[in-house]
Amino acid sequence: MLQEIHNAIDAVYPEMLETRRYLHQYPELSFKEFKTAKYIADFYEKIGIPYQKNVGGNGIVATLKGRKPGKTIALRADFDALPIQDEKDVPYKSKIDGVMHACGHDGHTSTLLYLAKVMKSYQEELPGTIVFLHQHAEEYAPGGAKPMIDAGALKDVDAVFGTHLWATTPLGFIQTAKGVLMAGADRFEIVIQGQGGHGAYPHETKDSIVIGSQIVTQLQQIISRRLDPLETAVITVGIFEAGNAFNIIADTARLIGTVRYLNTEIQDRIIKEMEKIIKGICIANGCNYTFNYEKGYPPVINHDKEAELVMKVSQKLAEVETVEEIIPVMGGEDFAYYLLEKPGAFFFTGAEKEGNRYPHHHPHFDFDERAMPIAAKTLISAYYAYQEE
């Protein structure tokens, strides 16, 4: 039966490809995915699978109940895009100025849609229930996963699985981990209120740029000198805004950045150390500050048994050359929230495209579309294997 399903997935690949390219041309930003959500809902309407729309926002939850008894297992795909200008020279280039599917969510969506279409034809023989989670707003915290969960998307679900098409990993690779797979991802903002003045008279000012620079430098010492070297964490200042003239000392500076961590105890330590450094430097320089720290997505922590199951089933796929258990990556994902609620696992499906080896969130990003059926086969294989657990 499973081999028949895999063959059926191969048969719908041309349609899967067409849908992915259509979605790539019409991306929508997080929390604004109204047309994409309608497209997904219309698809389920057409193939005759019941669905709920506006779940926790723009989310869509479709439910395929098999005629045979079994467990209820959710499979998830996200469908939002990014505020990036598409610079690829391809026929399916984004038609929306300044918006692009630069992370593969169009591929995730198409993969899950056509897996649903295939499984609809096997409903009579299907054990259990498949819940197809189409999630909005993965790219922008607070994200879409938590609101969907709060709206009941995981009600009666026994386990949840998801994948990310991974454009920096070769086609034919499946990667996952038991335990932590991806980092927690937070955001912070620091505003330094100094005292501006003429660039020729620095002694009469409190230079917010110099003070901000001291903070940027000292924050890095949290990682290098205040944390155990065996603990993994990142502090990155990505935005430093100050001043508007070459000969004026700026009175205000604004720093915005991200913290990545694998251990929640380390997260708490970093917050405390950041506050101490910022406060100390500002006191020493006689200026005021505000420090806002926003806790974002927690780490993606796979359940051991489910991660092992993903590795086991993917090894049986002819298209999969390598199955790897990898060390955690420092990117974040709100799939983490599903795993806090239910057993499950997240995994990467290798999708590196020959001649286009750009990373995720890059204006030239693309992926090898042949990864989509591999992702679909791995997901449904995990579904069937979990039925036997």
| Structural domains of the chain, ranges and CATH numbers in brackets | 2-183+299-387 (3.40.630.10), 184-297 (3.30.70.360)
Give 27's contacts (C-beta < 8 A, 6+ positions apart). Answer: 36, 81, 82, 94, 96, 99, 100, 101, 106
Taking the CB of residue 189, how many other CB atoms lie within 10 A of it? 14
Active site residues: 80, 138
Query: Tell me: the pLDDT tens digits for 217-257?
Result: 999 999 999 999 999 999 999 999 999 999 999 999 999 99
Q: What is the pLDDT at residue 9?
A: 98
Query: Tell me: the pLDDT tens digits for 332-381?
Result: 999 999 999 999 999 999 999 999 989 999 999 999 999 999 999 999 99
Q: What is the pLDDT at residue 389?
A: 87
Closest-CA residue to 132 (of 313, 305, 299, 380): 380
Both structure tokens of 21:
């390219």
pLDDT at 303 over 90: yes
pLDDT at 261 over 90: yes
Give 177's contacts (C-beta < 8 A, 6+ positions apart). Answer: 302, 307, 325, 326, 327, 328
pLDDT at 13 over 90: yes
What does the mean pLDDT of the chain come to?
A: 98
Q: What is the pLDDT at residue 326?
A: 98
Angle between helices 371-387 and 304-314 (to 10 degrees): 120
Residue 142, preceding bond cis, omega within 30 degrees? Answer: yes
Q: Region 284-291: what's the mean pLDDT?
A: 98
Q: Region 300-328: what's the mean pLDDT?
A: 98
Q: What is the pLDDT at residue 302?
A: 98
Taking the CB of residue 284, how many other CB atoms lie within 10 A of it? 10
Q: How confident is the model at residue 285 (pLDDT cuts 50, 70, 90)?
A: very high
Q: What is the pLDDT at residue 133?
A: 98
Both structure tokens of 167:
């454009």
Taking the CB of residue 370, how many other CB atoms lie within 10 A of it? 14
**Pairing state between β 127-135 and 173-176:** unpaired
- Give the bridge partners for 116, in sequence order: none
Contact predicate 345/182, CB 8 Å: no
Residue 75's alpha-carbon distances to 15, 169, 217, in angstroms, are 20, 22, 43
Q: How far apart are CA 151 and CA 145, in angstroms?
A: 10
